[in-house]
Amino acid sequence: MSRAMPFCVFLLLWVFCANSYALDDTATDAVSDMPVEAVTETTVEAVIDTPVEAVTETTLEAVIDTPTGEVTDTLAEDLGDTPVDPSIGLPLDAPIDTPIGTPIDTDGDTTAESAAISGAQPLRALILTSPGVYHNYEQQTQDIGRGIVERANVRFDVSLAEPDRWKTTDFSLGYDVLIYNICMADNQDAALIANMRRQTEELGVPAVFIHCTMHSFRETDLWWPLLGLQSKAHEPLGPLRQIQDGTHPILTGIPEDWVLPEDELYINLDFIGQRLLSTVGEDGEAHTTAWIAYHGLTPVFGTTLGHSEETMKNTAFHQLLANAVLFVTGNLTADGQPTPGMGPMGDGMDIFGNFSAPEGVKFLGREGKDCVYRKLAIAAAPCYLRCIVNPLEWGEETRACKASCEADLPGPDELIQACMPTI
Protein backbone atom coordinates (compact mmCIF):
# COMPACT_ATOMS: atom_id res chain seq x y z
CA MET A 1 0.00 0.00 0.00
CA SER A 2 2.78 2.43 0.86
CA ARG A 3 4.52 1.61 -2.47
CA ALA A 4 1.29 1.91 -4.53
CA MET A 5 0.52 5.48 -3.42
CA PRO A 6 3.63 7.15 -4.85
CA PHE A 7 3.23 5.21 -8.07
CA CYS A 8 -0.38 6.41 -8.47
CA VAL A 9 0.65 9.99 -7.78
CA PHE A 10 3.45 9.74 -10.33
CA LEU A 11 1.06 8.28 -12.91
CA LEU A 12 -1.43 11.11 -12.44
CA LEU A 13 1.30 13.78 -12.73
CA TRP A 14 2.65 12.20 -15.90
CA VAL A 15 -0.79 12.13 -17.55
CA PHE A 16 -1.40 15.77 -16.59
CA CYS A 17 1.95 16.96 -17.98
CA ALA A 18 1.53 14.97 -21.17
CA ASN A 19 -1.86 16.50 -21.81
CA SER A 20 -0.56 20.00 -21.07
CA TYR A 21 2.32 19.53 -23.53
CA ALA A 22 -0.09 18.37 -26.20
CA LEU A 23 -2.26 21.43 -25.77
CA ASP A 24 0.74 23.80 -26.00
CA ASP A 25 2.17 22.03 -29.04
CA THR A 26 -1.08 22.07 -31.02
CA ALA A 27 -2.18 25.60 -30.22
CA THR A 28 0.11 27.32 -32.72
CA ASP A 29 -0.56 24.81 -35.48
CA ALA A 30 -4.27 25.13 -34.97
CA VAL A 31 -4.16 28.91 -35.31
CA SER A 32 -1.79 28.94 -38.29
CA ASP A 33 -3.82 26.34 -40.18
CA MET A 34 -7.15 27.96 -39.38
CA PRO A 35 -8.85 29.62 -42.39
CA VAL A 36 -9.23 33.39 -42.26
CA GLU A 37 -13.00 33.02 -42.14
CA ALA A 38 -12.71 30.96 -38.99
CA VAL A 39 -10.64 33.67 -37.35
CA THR A 40 -13.04 36.45 -38.24
CA GLU A 41 -15.97 34.44 -37.00
CA THR A 42 -14.39 33.85 -33.58
CA THR A 43 -16.55 35.30 -30.85
CA VAL A 44 -15.38 38.31 -28.87
CA GLU A 45 -15.37 36.23 -25.69
CA ALA A 46 -12.99 33.70 -27.24
CA VAL A 47 -10.56 36.43 -28.22
CA ILE A 48 -10.68 37.97 -24.77
CA ASP A 49 -10.06 34.61 -23.12
CA THR A 50 -7.19 33.66 -25.42
CA PRO A 51 -3.81 33.73 -23.58
CA VAL A 52 -1.45 36.42 -24.86
CA GLU A 53 1.15 33.77 -25.65
CA ALA A 54 -1.19 31.99 -28.02
CA VAL A 55 -1.69 35.17 -30.01
CA THR A 56 1.93 36.25 -30.10
CA GLU A 57 3.13 32.81 -31.15
CA THR A 58 1.07 32.85 -34.36
CA THR A 59 3.54 32.13 -37.15
CA LEU A 60 4.56 34.94 -39.51
CA GLU A 61 3.98 32.64 -42.46
CA ALA A 62 0.30 32.38 -41.60
CA VAL A 63 -0.09 36.17 -41.84
CA ILE A 64 2.00 36.52 -45.00
CA ASP A 65 0.24 33.68 -46.78
CA THR A 66 -3.23 35.02 -46.08
CA PRO A 67 -4.81 36.20 -49.38
CA THR A 68 -5.15 39.98 -49.43
CA GLY A 69 -8.64 39.89 -50.83
CA GLU A 70 -9.93 37.80 -47.93
CA VAL A 71 -8.49 40.24 -45.41
CA THR A 72 -9.79 43.39 -47.08
CA ASP A 73 -13.21 41.93 -47.71
CA THR A 74 -13.47 40.84 -44.10
CA LEU A 75 -12.29 44.22 -42.83
CA ALA A 76 -14.71 46.05 -45.05
CA GLU A 77 -17.64 44.04 -43.75
CA ASP A 78 -16.54 44.36 -40.14
CA LEU A 79 -15.79 48.08 -40.35
CA GLY A 80 -19.06 48.81 -42.10
CA ASP A 81 -20.95 47.60 -39.04
CA THR A 82 -18.55 49.04 -36.48
CA PRO A 83 -19.33 52.49 -35.02
CA VAL A 84 -16.31 54.80 -35.15
CA ASP A 85 -15.60 57.46 -32.62
CA PRO A 86 -15.10 60.59 -34.77
CA SER A 87 -12.87 62.18 -32.18
CA ILE A 88 -10.13 59.59 -32.56
CA GLY A 89 -7.13 60.99 -34.38
CA LEU A 90 -8.66 64.45 -34.90
CA PRO A 91 -6.84 67.64 -33.96
CA LEU A 92 -8.55 69.37 -31.07
CA ASP A 93 -9.67 72.28 -33.19
CA ALA A 94 -10.85 70.24 -36.17
CA PRO A 95 -14.62 70.11 -36.76
CA ILE A 96 -16.15 66.67 -36.61
CA ASP A 97 -17.65 67.00 -40.07
CA THR A 98 -14.30 67.68 -41.74
CA PRO A 99 -13.19 64.84 -44.05
CA ILE A 100 -9.91 63.43 -42.79
CA GLY A 101 -6.89 62.51 -44.85
CA THR A 102 -8.49 62.88 -48.29
CA PRO A 103 -5.70 62.28 -50.82
CA ILE A 104 -5.05 65.06 -53.33
CA ASP A 105 -5.43 62.63 -56.23
CA THR A 106 -8.74 61.21 -55.02
CA ASP A 107 -11.16 60.70 -57.88
CA GLY A 108 -14.13 63.00 -58.28
CA ASP A 109 -16.80 60.69 -56.93
CA THR A 110 -14.97 60.02 -53.68
CA THR A 111 -14.10 63.68 -53.19
CA ALA A 112 -17.61 64.79 -53.94
CA GLU A 113 -18.88 62.28 -51.40
CA SER A 114 -16.47 63.67 -48.80
CA ALA A 115 -17.61 67.22 -49.51
CA ALA A 116 -21.23 66.14 -49.18
CA ILE A 117 -20.43 64.60 -45.81
CA SER A 118 -18.74 67.81 -44.70
CA GLY A 119 -21.74 69.85 -45.81
CA ALA A 120 -19.49 72.20 -47.78
CA GLN A 121 -21.28 74.34 -50.34
CA PRO A 122 -19.45 75.19 -53.57
CA LEU A 123 -18.18 78.70 -54.13
CA ARG A 124 -20.43 80.69 -56.43
CA ALA A 125 -18.58 82.50 -59.24
CA LEU A 126 -19.92 84.83 -61.93
CA ILE A 127 -17.98 84.81 -65.20
CA LEU A 128 -18.30 88.09 -67.11
CA THR A 129 -17.28 87.55 -70.72
CA SER A 130 -17.52 88.80 -74.30
CA PRO A 131 -18.99 87.42 -77.54
CA GLY A 132 -15.52 86.70 -78.92
CA VAL A 133 -14.24 89.18 -81.52
CA TYR A 134 -10.59 88.53 -80.77
CA HIS A 135 -10.83 85.35 -78.72
CA ASN A 136 -12.97 82.24 -78.69
CA TYR A 137 -14.71 83.16 -75.44
CA GLU A 138 -17.22 80.33 -75.70
CA GLN A 139 -14.44 77.75 -75.61
CA GLN A 140 -12.46 79.77 -73.08
CA THR A 141 -15.41 79.81 -70.68
CA GLN A 142 -15.58 76.02 -70.86
CA ASP A 143 -11.80 75.65 -70.45
CA ILE A 144 -11.67 78.03 -67.47
CA GLY A 145 -14.65 76.44 -65.77
CA ARG A 146 -13.51 72.84 -66.20
CA GLY A 147 -9.93 73.64 -65.26
CA ILE A 148 -10.98 75.31 -62.00
CA VAL A 149 -13.56 72.69 -61.02
CA GLU A 150 -11.02 69.91 -61.42
CA ARG A 151 -9.08 71.63 -58.62
CA ALA A 152 -11.63 73.50 -56.51
CA ASN A 153 -15.26 73.29 -55.39
CA VAL A 154 -16.77 76.05 -57.54
CA ARG A 155 -19.93 76.50 -59.62
CA PHE A 156 -20.44 79.20 -62.25
CA ASP A 157 -23.01 81.49 -63.75
CA VAL A 158 -22.14 83.20 -67.03
CA SER A 159 -22.95 86.78 -68.02
CA LEU A 160 -22.30 87.40 -71.73
CA ALA A 161 -21.99 90.98 -72.99
CA GLU A 162 -24.40 92.56 -70.49
CA PRO A 163 -23.02 96.11 -70.06
CA ASP A 164 -26.44 97.44 -69.01
CA ARG A 165 -26.58 94.92 -66.17
CA TRP A 166 -22.97 95.60 -65.24
CA LYS A 167 -23.67 99.33 -65.28
CA THR A 168 -26.95 99.60 -63.36
CA THR A 169 -27.14 96.73 -60.84
CA ASP A 170 -25.16 95.23 -58.00
CA PHE A 171 -24.55 92.17 -60.16
CA SER A 172 -22.06 90.73 -57.67
CA LEU A 173 -24.67 90.08 -54.96
CA GLY A 174 -24.90 86.41 -54.07
CA TYR A 175 -21.48 85.58 -55.54
CA ASP A 176 -18.24 84.74 -53.76
CA VAL A 177 -16.01 85.86 -56.63
CA LEU A 178 -16.22 87.64 -59.99
CA ILE A 179 -14.18 86.33 -62.93
CA TYR A 180 -13.64 88.89 -65.72
CA ASN A 181 -12.66 87.57 -69.15
CA ILE A 182 -13.71 90.48 -71.35
CA CYS A 183 -12.25 92.52 -74.19
CA MET A 184 -13.74 96.03 -74.25
CA ALA A 185 -10.73 97.99 -75.43
CA ASP A 186 -12.56 100.88 -77.08
CA ASN A 187 -15.19 101.35 -74.37
CA GLN A 188 -14.81 104.49 -72.25
CA ASP A 189 -18.11 104.42 -70.34
CA ALA A 190 -17.23 106.01 -66.99
CA ALA A 191 -20.52 104.95 -65.36
CA LEU A 192 -19.98 101.34 -66.39
CA ILE A 193 -16.43 101.33 -65.02
CA ALA A 194 -17.54 102.98 -61.78
CA ASN A 195 -20.20 100.34 -61.10
CA MET A 196 -17.86 97.47 -61.91
CA ARG A 197 -15.34 98.92 -59.48
CA ARG A 198 -18.05 99.37 -56.85
CA GLN A 199 -18.66 95.60 -56.70
CA THR A 200 -15.18 95.01 -55.30
CA GLU A 201 -14.09 98.30 -53.78
CA GLU A 202 -17.35 99.00 -51.89
CA LEU A 203 -19.25 95.71 -51.72
CA GLY A 204 -16.09 93.68 -51.03
CA VAL A 205 -16.54 90.93 -53.64
CA PRO A 206 -13.10 89.64 -54.73
CA ALA A 207 -12.28 89.38 -58.42
CA VAL A 208 -10.07 87.54 -60.90
CA PHE A 209 -9.01 89.35 -64.11
CA ILE A 210 -7.85 87.45 -67.21
CA HIS A 211 -5.86 88.60 -70.27
CA CYS A 212 -7.74 91.17 -72.42
CA THR A 213 -9.55 92.41 -69.32
CA MET A 214 -6.34 94.41 -68.79
CA HIS A 215 -6.75 96.08 -72.20
CA SER A 216 -10.42 96.87 -71.63
CA PHE A 217 -11.18 100.58 -71.17
CA ARG A 218 -7.52 101.19 -71.95
CA GLU A 219 -8.00 104.73 -73.28
CA THR A 220 -9.06 105.87 -69.82
CA ASP A 221 -7.27 105.91 -66.46
CA LEU A 222 -10.43 104.76 -64.65
CA TRP A 223 -10.21 100.98 -64.97
CA TRP A 224 -6.68 99.86 -64.26
CA PRO A 225 -6.51 100.99 -60.57
CA LEU A 226 -9.06 98.23 -59.81
CA LEU A 227 -6.79 95.65 -61.45
CA GLY A 228 -3.44 96.95 -60.21
CA LEU A 229 -1.75 96.89 -63.64
CA GLN A 230 -1.98 99.21 -66.64
CA SER A 231 -1.20 98.11 -70.21
CA LYS A 232 -2.15 99.40 -73.66
CA ALA A 233 -0.11 97.18 -75.99
CA HIS A 234 1.44 93.73 -76.27
CA GLU A 235 4.31 92.03 -78.05
CA PRO A 236 3.74 89.56 -80.94
CA LEU A 237 2.72 86.01 -80.12
CA GLY A 238 5.56 83.85 -78.94
CA PRO A 239 6.85 81.60 -76.16
CA LEU A 240 6.72 83.17 -72.70
CA ARG A 241 9.00 81.91 -69.92
CA GLN A 242 7.50 82.60 -66.50
CA ILE A 243 9.72 83.83 -63.67
CA GLN A 244 8.39 83.30 -60.15
CA ASP A 245 8.80 86.23 -57.81
CA GLY A 246 9.39 84.58 -54.43
CA THR A 247 6.89 82.17 -52.93
CA HIS A 248 3.14 82.50 -52.57
CA PRO A 249 0.29 80.01 -52.01
CA ILE A 250 -1.07 80.86 -55.48
CA LEU A 251 2.14 79.53 -57.04
CA THR A 252 1.66 76.05 -55.52
CA GLY A 253 1.82 73.47 -58.28
CA ILE A 254 3.23 75.92 -60.85
CA PRO A 255 6.49 74.60 -62.39
CA GLU A 256 9.52 76.78 -61.79
CA ASP A 257 10.52 76.31 -65.45
CA TRP A 258 7.02 77.02 -66.80
CA VAL A 259 7.11 78.12 -70.44
CA LEU A 260 3.95 78.88 -72.39
CA PRO A 261 4.52 77.93 -76.04
CA GLU A 262 2.42 80.77 -77.46
CA ASP A 263 0.96 83.82 -75.77
CA GLU A 264 1.09 87.61 -75.72
CA LEU A 265 3.27 89.62 -73.36
CA TYR A 266 1.45 92.75 -72.20
CA ILE A 267 3.76 95.72 -71.83
CA ASN A 268 3.42 97.15 -68.31
CA LEU A 269 2.90 100.90 -68.04
CA ASP A 270 2.10 101.11 -64.34
CA PHE A 271 1.81 98.57 -61.54
CA ILE A 272 0.64 98.79 -57.91
CA GLY A 273 0.27 95.14 -56.87
CA GLN A 274 2.35 92.22 -55.59
CA ARG A 275 4.10 90.50 -58.47
CA LEU A 276 3.82 86.71 -58.66
CA LEU A 277 5.02 85.96 -62.21
CA SER A 278 6.83 87.93 -64.88
CA THR A 279 8.41 87.55 -68.32
CA VAL A 280 11.36 89.44 -69.79
CA GLY A 281 10.21 91.31 -72.88
CA GLU A 282 11.93 92.40 -76.07
CA ASP A 283 12.91 95.59 -74.26
CA GLY A 284 14.94 93.58 -71.74
CA GLU A 285 12.58 94.55 -68.91
CA ALA A 286 10.57 92.19 -66.69
CA HIS A 287 6.83 92.62 -67.29
CA THR A 288 4.38 91.32 -64.69
CA THR A 289 2.15 88.48 -65.94
CA ALA A 290 0.40 87.48 -62.68
CA TRP A 291 -0.15 89.42 -59.47
CA ILE A 292 -2.23 90.14 -56.35
CA ALA A 293 -3.60 93.55 -55.35
CA TYR A 294 -5.79 94.67 -52.45
CA HIS A 295 -8.65 97.11 -52.00
CA GLY A 296 -8.82 97.46 -48.27
CA LEU A 297 -9.05 93.85 -47.14
CA THR A 298 -10.50 92.62 -50.44
CA PRO A 299 -7.97 90.86 -52.70
CA VAL A 300 -8.00 90.70 -56.48
CA PHE A 301 -5.90 88.55 -58.79
CA GLY A 302 -4.85 89.37 -62.35
CA THR A 303 -2.99 87.67 -65.15
CA THR A 304 -2.20 88.99 -68.62
CA LEU A 305 -1.82 85.40 -69.85
CA GLY A 306 -4.61 83.64 -71.69
CA HIS A 307 -4.58 84.64 -75.36
CA SER A 308 -4.11 81.31 -77.11
CA GLU A 309 -6.00 78.04 -76.97
CA GLU A 310 -2.76 76.38 -75.88
CA THR A 311 -2.65 78.57 -72.76
CA MET A 312 -6.33 78.10 -72.00
CA LYS A 313 -5.87 74.33 -72.03
CA ASN A 314 -2.58 74.40 -70.11
CA THR A 315 -2.80 72.48 -66.81
CA ALA A 316 -0.47 74.89 -64.98
CA PHE A 317 -2.66 77.78 -66.12
CA HIS A 318 -5.72 75.98 -64.76
CA GLN A 319 -3.87 75.44 -61.46
CA LEU A 320 -2.97 79.14 -61.34
CA LEU A 321 -6.60 80.21 -61.82
CA ALA A 322 -7.94 77.67 -59.32
CA ASN A 323 -5.40 78.73 -56.70
CA ALA A 324 -6.28 82.37 -57.36
CA VAL A 325 -10.03 81.77 -56.92
CA LEU A 326 -9.42 79.92 -53.66
CA PHE A 327 -6.98 82.54 -52.38
CA VAL A 328 -9.09 85.63 -53.02
CA THR A 329 -12.10 83.93 -51.38
CA GLY A 330 -10.06 82.94 -48.31
CA ASN A 331 -10.07 79.22 -49.11
CA LEU A 332 -6.39 78.52 -49.78
CA THR A 333 -4.11 77.50 -46.92
CA ALA A 334 -0.64 78.94 -46.39
CA ASP A 335 0.86 75.82 -47.98
CA GLY A 336 -1.33 76.18 -51.07
CA GLN A 337 -4.03 73.58 -50.34
CA PRO A 338 -7.81 74.04 -50.49
CA THR A 339 -9.49 74.45 -47.13
CA PRO A 340 -11.77 71.55 -46.03
CA GLY A 341 -14.64 71.04 -48.45
CA MET A 342 -13.11 73.32 -51.08
CA GLY A 343 -11.13 70.64 -52.92
CA PRO A 344 -11.93 69.31 -56.40
CA MET A 345 -15.40 67.98 -57.04
CA GLY A 346 -14.71 66.02 -60.21
CA ASP A 347 -15.57 66.87 -63.78
CA GLY A 348 -18.65 64.77 -64.42
CA MET A 349 -21.25 67.26 -63.23
CA ASP A 350 -23.00 70.35 -64.51
CA ILE A 351 -20.72 73.14 -63.39
CA PHE A 352 -22.54 75.96 -65.17
CA GLY A 353 -25.84 77.26 -63.87
CA ASN A 354 -27.51 80.36 -65.23
CA PHE A 355 -26.44 81.78 -68.59
CA SER A 356 -27.63 85.29 -69.43
CA ALA A 357 -27.13 87.61 -72.39
CA PRO A 358 -28.99 90.48 -74.08
CA GLU A 359 -31.65 89.46 -76.55
CA GLY A 360 -30.11 88.51 -79.89
CA VAL A 361 -26.55 88.16 -78.48
CA LYS A 362 -24.64 84.91 -78.27
CA PHE A 363 -21.07 83.70 -78.54
CA LEU A 364 -19.68 84.22 -82.05
CA GLY A 365 -18.27 80.73 -82.33
CA ARG A 366 -15.87 79.62 -85.04
CA GLU A 367 -18.07 80.85 -87.90
CA GLY A 368 -18.48 84.28 -86.34
CA LYS A 369 -14.75 84.65 -85.68
CA ASP A 370 -13.94 83.73 -89.28
CA CYS A 371 -16.40 86.42 -90.36
CA VAL A 372 -14.62 88.97 -88.14
CA TYR A 373 -11.18 88.12 -89.58
CA ARG A 374 -12.48 88.44 -93.15
CA LYS A 375 -13.98 91.88 -92.49
CA LEU A 376 -10.80 93.07 -90.74
CA ALA A 377 -8.65 91.83 -93.61
CA ILE A 378 -10.88 93.46 -96.24
CA ALA A 379 -10.81 96.75 -94.34
CA ALA A 380 -7.10 96.79 -93.48
CA ALA A 381 -5.38 95.27 -96.52
CA PRO A 382 -5.74 98.16 -99.03
CA CYS A 383 -4.71 100.68 -96.40
CA TYR A 384 -1.69 98.67 -95.32
CA LEU A 385 -0.56 98.27 -98.91
CA ARG A 386 -0.53 102.05 -99.33
CA CYS A 387 1.64 102.34 -96.21
CA ILE A 388 4.13 99.62 -97.04
CA VAL A 389 5.34 100.66 -100.47
CA ASN A 390 8.96 99.71 -99.88
CA PRO A 391 9.61 97.27 -96.97
CA LEU A 392 13.27 98.29 -96.98
CA GLU A 393 12.29 101.80 -95.94
CA TRP A 394 10.01 100.99 -93.02
CA GLY A 395 10.31 103.54 -90.25
CA GLU A 396 8.33 105.97 -88.14
CA GLU A 397 6.36 107.21 -91.15
CA THR A 398 5.29 103.66 -92.02
CA ARG A 399 4.28 102.90 -88.43
CA ALA A 400 2.24 106.12 -88.27
CA CYS A 401 0.52 105.18 -91.52
CA LYS A 402 -0.34 101.70 -90.22
CA ALA A 403 -1.68 103.20 -86.99
CA SER A 404 -3.91 105.45 -89.07
CA CYS A 405 -5.20 102.40 -90.95
CA GLU A 406 -5.98 100.58 -87.71
CA ALA A 407 -7.86 103.59 -86.36
CA ASP A 408 -10.27 103.30 -89.27
CA LEU A 409 -10.97 99.59 -88.77
CA PRO A 410 -14.49 98.62 -87.73
CA GLY A 411 -14.89 98.45 -83.96
CA PRO A 412 -15.83 95.39 -81.92
CA ASP A 413 -19.49 96.38 -81.59
CA GLU A 414 -19.82 96.80 -85.35
CA LEU A 415 -18.08 93.48 -86.01
CA ILE A 416 -20.27 91.68 -83.48
CA GLN A 417 -23.41 93.06 -85.05
CA ALA A 418 -22.24 92.11 -88.53
CA CYS A 419 -20.99 88.62 -87.64
CA MET A 420 -23.40 87.49 -84.94
CA PRO A 421 -24.67 83.99 -85.76
CA THR A 422 -28.34 83.67 -86.55
CA ILE A 423 -30.31 83.05 -83.38
Is 256's pLDDT higher than 90?
A: yes
Instruction: Find the range with the poorest average confidence among 65-74, 226-235, 302-311.
Output: 65-74
Most confidently modeled range among 38-42, 77-81, 234-238, 362-366: 234-238
Report residue 392's pLDDT band, with 50, 70 and 90 as the boundaries.
low
Query: Which pLDDT tens digit goes with each residue over 70-114?
Result: 433 433 334 334 333 333 333 323 333 333 233 333 344 444 444
**Which of the two residues, 421 and 357, has the higher pLDDT score?**
357
The domain ranges of the chain are: 4-80, 108-356, 365-419
Residues with Cβ within 8 Å of 258's Cβ and at least 6 positions away in sequence, in order, are 241, 242, 316
What's the pTM?
A: 0.70
- What pLDDT does 423 receive? 56
Please determine, looking at this structure, whether the domain spanning 108-356 carries the CATH number 3.10.20.440: no
CA distance 244 to 75: 47
